[in-house]
Structure formats: structure tokens, C-alpha cells
Amino acid sequence: MSLVRNLKIGHKLGLIVLALLLPLAYTTWHYVQKYAVAVGEDRLALQGLDHFYSFNEALIPLTRHGALAVAERATGRPESKVPALAAEIDAALSAHLEFEKAKGEDYIGRSAADALAGEWKTLSASWRQMPVGEVRSAHDVLAGKMLVAIDGVAETFALNRDTDVAVLYVQDALTMWVPDTAVNMSALRATLIQKLSDGTALTADEAAHIGALKARVKLAAENVVIDVGKAAERTQDPAKKQALEAVLSGPLAQMQVRHLEFDNWVASYLKGEATDLNAQSLLDRSLPTLEHLHEAEHGLLDPLKVHLAERLATAERSRMLGFGMLTVMVLVALAIVWWVVNGLNRGVLHATDVLGKIEQGRFDNRVTIEANDEIGTLLGGLERMQKGLGERIERDRVVAAENARIRTALDKVSTSVMVSDADGRIIYMNEAVQTMFRTQAAEIRKQLPNFDPERILNSSFDGFHKSPAHQRSMLSALSGNHQSEIRLGNAVLRISASPVSAPDGTRLGTVVQWLDRTQEASVEQEVRELVEAALAGDLRPRLSLVGKSGFFEALAKGLNELL
């Protein structure tokens, strides 16, 4: 607390403004941080979609390539679409490696991405020499590894944790159910083609395996539709809702129709009721499902990237707005502090300047009051104080001049005068009383051994009495003029004491007039003795002229001549 008390008023005001600003600054900073997190998440999601796109562009052609490769190996008839699909896979994997290199990112490990490209290169060069079962399993293994890579993308780039539920459903459809549908459809097609090509009867285990693949494809395809439907329900933006509904009513609706036809055909095959049991018929029935799925994927991915880019731009603008608001708040607070402190300092410095001039004895200073605030009140009080002080000092000067004249007169009068304060301390002695005490010092010491005429000033009246308590009591109770006569040695001194009081009756001190009657008393004694001798008939005694002067000398001569 002492540290705060010692701060200047500007610093104290700054602390007050800071204390008031902190909650608002904290709220604004929290706002900025919120959008900073949103910016980071959206950037990460956009990068993740780029990675996902490059992998998925390889996965979808790979699933189709696997089915056609199995069909070609099973029937011995070349499939015309195989080279184009292989070129698509090569381009997608090369583009992914270049994308990682350009971004400087290696989220699954460069070696893992290189391994996928290497395995595909080996498979594309050797599948025509493999048995049908190995072709199918090799494609399934590579597709599974790509699916793991896609899952890694979704996890690393938080494509499955978006705070916007609509976006989360779209991401879930793209990163989970679309790849899952494609991979399981590829496995189902390859398994069916292989079985149709060997011409043997369907075993129970084979039927169970085909049924499980059929169920997984159906589940994955249905979940794609469900997720997109939920995303459309929760989307608030009309344009985005319309785009999602277009995907639902367009490619996904067509995918459902064509997949239902294929699913019914597989069901009839498992029951032994299907017709057209050949690889080409199977491919013709299954391919539209994948084509419409791929079309739906692009219909979801491109708007999602646009949405995330717009959301990123909005978050960046909001973050910059927050920074701007915080900066403006700080600048406004500093401006307010400067403005108030400058006003306070101007008033305080003006008051300090006036006080300095008053200290120098100037009481005609101009006091400028600029505002009707506390500083203005202070300056108004200073102006009144200056005026009152100047008038009082002028009165005191007049009184002091009068007192000086009176003191000068008292110093020179022949009457011995002494003044004490209310406590009996001697505060004034004129020249006559000082001379009297110096003249009678030897006689006074006969009764008061410690008497020193040079140390009377500032001493107490008590020193002139054998009973100080009695003397103090008498002076304090004094209400009028009191006269007494004291004899100290051969010195006879008459005292006339009067109280000095203020107009309100407050006791200020005592004024004492001293009269040295030593010579007068001595003459009176001699005259008394002379008169007594004359009355007794003895006319021989005479008054001594030694030590007498003036009236007493004339009196002594006159009496001596009379006798």
C-alpha cells in the first residue's frame, strides 16, 4: 500500500484504467484466441483435404483396376479400361508425393508414401503373371494400405473432429464411408469374378464371405447417404444446403438405384436364381455404383473445400478484427490516461507554481481555473487562501510595525518592564529592568546565590521567590493588578504585576513593572532615625550625603541645615 501511496497521480490513474481495461482486454483476447484456433483448425483441415484428395484419387481407380484385372485374368480377354486406370493411379500417387514435397510435410512418413508407390509399381508390372486369386488379394492388400493412409489423414488433420456438425458429417462421409464403399465393392466384385470364372459350385463358406462383403458395401453406401442427409439438415446456409441436396437427389440417388439393382443381383446369385452369370455382366452391373459414388465424392469435396476456405477467411478477418479492437482499446485507454493526466498535471503544476510564489512572499498571483472539477476546486481554494493569507499578512505586518514601535518605546522608557508568557517564562525585558538587575545583582545573590542577570530572559518567574510553587500559583490566579515589595539582601524592589489576556479572555501572560526602591527605602530609614533622635532632644545626628543624588541629596542637605 505504501508503494501505491507514493505513486504519482498519473501512475495511479493508469493503474485504475488498467484494472478497468483488463476484463475487456481478456474478453477480447479470448475472442482473438478463439478465432486463432479456428484459423489453425481450418488451415489444417484444408491441408488434410488436399492430402485426402490425392490419396482418394488413387484409391477409387485402384478398386476399379482390381476388378477389371481379375476379370481379365479370369476370362483371358483384355479389358480396355485397365491402362487408363493404371495411368490414373500413377498420376495420383506421383501428384501426392510432389504435393508433400511442395508443402514440406511428411505426416505419414515419406517412406510410407514411397512404399505405397513402390508396391503399386510392382503390382502394375506383375499382375498379368499372377493367378486370379493373387491378383485379387494383391489389389485388396494395396487398397487396404491406402485406406489406412486415408484414415491417417483424417486423424492427423482432424477431418473427423470439426466443431460444425454439418461439416463433420460431410467429412465423415468422405474420409470413412466413401473409401469403405469403394474398397468393399472392389473386393466383392473381384471375389464374384473369380468365382464365376472357375465354374465351380458356390460353397457355404464362399457364400458367407460374399454375403458379408455384400452387407458391408450396402452399409457403407447407406452411411454415405445418411451422413450427407444429416449434413443437409444441419446446414444453415441456403446455398450450401441446396448443393448438398443436389448431391443427394443426383449422384447419390442414382448410386442407390444402381446399387440396389446390383445388390438384388448378388442376392439372386447367392440363391442360385441369377442369370447372365459372367464377368462382363457383373462389371456392367457394379460399375455404375462406383461411378456415381465417385461423382458424389467430387460433388461433396469441392464445396467442402470452398466452405472451409470461406470459413478460414472469416476466421482470419475476425481474428484481425479482434486484434484491431484490442489495439484500439489500448490506444484509447492510453489517450484517455494522457488526456486526464495532462489536465491534472497542468492544474497541479499551476498550483505548485502559485504556491512557490506565495512562499516567496508574492500574494498577487493570477490563479487560472480551467475546469469545474476537483482540480478546479483545489485551485479555487488556493486562490481564496492566497487572498486571505495576503490580507492576514498585511494585517500582521501592520500589527508587527505597531508592536515594533511599542517595543522600541518600551526598550527606552526609564520604567523597568518585564513580560512573561502564560507559563511564567520571561519572554521580554526592557533596558531599564536589565540595568536594574545588573545594579542590584550583588545584593540579590545574598538571598538567591544562583542569580545571574544575564540569564533572566527565557527563565521562569519562580527564580525570584523562595517558594516557586507559591509564586506560580499566584501568577496563574492573577486577575487584576497586584503589587508587592520584596527585599533581596539590601535591595528593596517593588513589583506591580498585571495579567495580559486575549479579547476572548484567554490568558496570554503577565506584565511586571519593577521599581528599585533601595535608595528611597534607605533615606526613609535615615530620616525616620533622624526624626526620632530630634524628638528625643538629640539634635546632633546628621543625614549622610554619600551615595545620594538628586532629590535625596537635596533632602539630606535641607534637613541637615534645618537642624
More confident residue, 185 or 340: 185
The pLDDT value given to residue 465? 65
Give residues with Cβ within 8 angstroms of 542, minimum separation 6.
530, 560, 563
Report the distance separating Cα 243 and Cα 265, nearest Å. 32
55 vs 453, residue with greater confidence: 453
Give the residue-averaged pLDDT of 137-150.
81
Over residues 43-50, mean pLDDT: 71
Q: What is the per-residue pLDDT across 250-278, written as a single tens digit (0 to 9) for each?
A: 999 999 999 998 888 888 888 887 777 77
Cα torsion for 395, 399, 400, 401, to the nearest 10°?
100
pLDDT averaged over every residue in the chain: 78
The pLDDT assigned to 219 comes to: 93
Residue 200, class by beta-carbon neighbours within 10 Å (0-12 exposed, 13-18 middle, 19+ buried)?
Answer: exposed
More confident residue, 460 or 476: 460
Average pLDDT over residues 515-538: 73
pLDDT at 290: 83
Q: Is the pLDDT at 8 greater than 50, yes or no?
A: yes
Confidence of residue 40 (pLDDT cuts 50, 70, 90): low
Q: Which of 549, 554, 487, 561 is nearest to 521 (CA)?
A: 487
Confidence at 539, pLDDT banded by 50, 70, 90:
low
C-beta of residue 491 within 8 angstroms of C-beta of residue 444: yes
Phi, psi angle pair for 107, to nearest 5°:
-70, -25
| Residue 55 pLDDT greater than 60, yes or no | yes
The type of residue at 551 is: F
pLDDT at 109: 45
What's the pLDDT score for residue 70? 80
Looking at residue 413, what DSSP letter applies? S
At residue 187 the predicted structure's pLDDT band, cuts being 50, 70 and 90, is confident
Q: Euclidean distance between the first and final Cα of the chain, in Å?
A: 96
Give the pLDDT of residue 216. Answer: 93
pLDDT at residue 30, rounded to an integer: 59
- From the centroid of its chain, how far is CA 115? 54
User: In the sheet that 482-488 helps form, which strands lie side by side, from edge to edge?
Assistant: 426-429, 416-421, 507-516, 491-501, 482-488
CA separation for the pair 388, 391 (Å, rounded): 5
Per residue in 216-230, pLDDT (tens digit) is 999 999 999 999 899
Residue 506 · residue 517 · CB < 8 Å: no
